[in-house]
């Protein structure tokens, strides 16, 4: 479409073209797993496990890989959830985040301590603040994990 920039190319306001992120909502006993981010954009904010979708990778494979890399947990029962359109103007970043719901075996471990300070389980109605923008946007959409 006219006026759109390819991924990685600077668009209006110097913002990079959109990248695709995958967020994994792991729900157990009615609670969702969130980690306190550090060392990159969103430091000091709570987010579900996830990361960049790599070229040629399925959304499901990305979810499995990211959860394993970040927490050591094995993801099961993946199913689609909403997406969010996320702007990070201070960093000049634009992401489209594809969320998936999942179950996972085991307990989360902090396998990337340079990226995550801690993992904890939270009730959806009592989420910690501040939330990473993709997660905050998901809440604003009115999404509720089942």
User: How far apart, in Å, do the first and last CA atoms of the chain sit?
Assistant: 37
The answer to whether residue 87 sits within a structural domain is: yes
Tokens (6 digits) for 50: 């996830």
H or E stretch including 52?
Answer: strand 50-52
Task: List, for residues 51-91, the tens digit of each pLDDT value.
Answer: 999 999 999 999 999 999 999 999 989 999 999 999 999 89
Q: Let me know: does 35 contact 112? Beta carbons within 8 Å.
A: no
Question: Which one-letter DSSP state was computed for residue 130?
Answer: S
Question: Residue 133: which CATH number?
Answer: 3.90.79.10
Tell whether omega for the bond before 94 is within 30 degrees of 0, i.e. cis. no
Q: How many domains does the chain fold into?
A: 1
70 class by beta-carbon count within 10 Å (0-12 exposed, 13-18 middle, 19+ buried): buried
- The SS3 assignment for 48 reads coil
Task: List, for residues 15-48, the tens digit of each pLDDT value.
Answer: 878 999 999 999 999 999 999 999 888 999 999 9
The answer to whether residue 5 sits within a structural domain is: no
132 pLDDT higher than 50? yes
Higher confidence at residue 57 or residue 6?
57
Q: Let me know: does 42 contact 132? Beta carbons within 8 Å.
A: yes
Nearest residue to 108 (alpha-carbon basis) of 66, 68, 73: 73
pTM of the model: 0.89
Provide the domain limits for residue 113: 14-118+127-140
Q: Write down the pLDDT at residue 23.
A: 98
Q: Write down the pLDDT at residue 74.
A: 97
Q: Write down the pLDDT at residue 72.
A: 98
Q: How confident is the model at residue 12 (pLDDT cuts 50, 70, 90)?
A: low
Q: Write down the pLDDT at residue 123.
A: 97
The answer to whether residue 1 sits within a structural domain is: no
The answer to whether residue 53 sits within a structural domain is: yes
- The SS3 assignment for 37 reads strand
């Amino acid at each position: 479409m006219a006026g759109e920039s390819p991924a990685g190319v600077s668009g209006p306001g110097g913002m990079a073209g959109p990248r695709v992120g995958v967020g994994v909502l792991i729900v157990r006993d009615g609670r969702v797993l969130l980690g306190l981010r550090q060392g990159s954009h969103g430091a000091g904010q709570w987010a579900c496990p996830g990361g960049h979708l790599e070229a040629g990778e399925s959304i499901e494979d990305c979810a499995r890989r990211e959860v394993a890399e970040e927490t050591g947990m094995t993801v099961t029962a993946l199913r689609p959830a909403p997406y969010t359109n996320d702007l990070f103007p201070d960093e000049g970043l634009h992401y489209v985040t594809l969320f998936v719901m999942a179950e996972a075996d085991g307990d989360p471990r902090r396998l990337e301590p340079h990226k995550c300070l801690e993992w904890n389980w939270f009730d959806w109605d009592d989420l910690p603040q501040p939330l990473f923008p993709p997660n905050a946007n998901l809440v604003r959409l009115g999404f509720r994990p089942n």
